[in-house]
Amino acid sequence: LQSVSVVSRPAGAAVTIKYLGYSTPDPVTGKFGVLAFERYEFFHQGREVSLVLSSPLGSDNVDPWRNVTSSLRFTK
Say how far apart CA 66 and CA 37 lie, in whole Å: 13
Query: Would you place residue 58 in the very low, low, confident or very high pLDDT band (cuts 50, 70, 90)?
Result: very high
Query: Would you place residue 34 in the very low, low, confident or very high pLDDT band (cuts 50, 70, 90)?
Result: very high
For 3, the 3-state DSSP assignment is: strand
| Tens-place pLDDT, residues 8-17 | 999 999 999 9
Q: How confident is the prediction for the chain on average, in pLDDT?
A: 95
pLDDT at residue 76 above 80? no
Q: Beta strands 3-9 and 34-44: pairing type? A: unpaired
Mean pLDDT in residue range 12-40 = 96
